[in-house]
């Protein structure tokens, strides 16, 4: 969750998560996560414990392989579907290489 790390943004983030991704969350010790995520699936860990490394690796891979997401300029294409399509292609390709 980039930006503000309060309970309101965490609730908005949780509301848009697809159901198939709503399980086993390893997070840091922020209070907002404990307020929003179900206790049975939330596993808080201190920073540096290594349990969030999978998420960090996929985020880093997405940034490296889909450069349009990290542009310094404010100019983007007119299409709203292309960034989503690019992200999906990169994620799918990354998942295939892990198998």
Q: Report pLDDT digits (tens) over 21-44.
A: 777 777 778 888 888 888 888 888
Query: Can you give the pLDDT at residue 64?
Result: 79
Are 26 and 41 contacting, i.e. CB atoms less than 8 angstroms apart? no
Average pLDDT over residues 74-91: 76
| Domain-located, residue 79 | yes
Enumerate residues 6+ apart whose C-beta is below 8 A from 35: 7, 10
pLDDT-wise least confident of 14-18, 20-24, 72-76, 90-94? 72-76
Q: Evaluate if pTM is beyond 0.95.
A: no
Residue 37 inside a domain? The answer is: yes
Tokens of 81: 């579907």
1 pLDDT band (50/70/90 cuts)? very low
State the residue range of the domain holding 25: 7-98
Per the domain annotation, does 64 fall within a domain? yes
Q: Is residue 1 part of a domain?
A: no
């Amino acid at each position: 969750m980039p930006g503000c790390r309060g309970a309101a943004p965490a609730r908005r983030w949780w509301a848009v998560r697809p159901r198939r991704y709503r399980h086993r969350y390893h997070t840091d010790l922020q209070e907002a996560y404990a307020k929003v995520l179900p206790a049975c699936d939330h596993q808080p860990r201190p920073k540096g414990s290594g349990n969030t490394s999978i998420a960090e690796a996929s985020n880093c891979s997405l940034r490296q392989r889909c450069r349009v997401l990290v542009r310094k300029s404010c100019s983007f294409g007119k299409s709203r579907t292309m960034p989503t399509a690019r992200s999906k292609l990169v994620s799918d390709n990354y998942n295939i290489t892990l198998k």
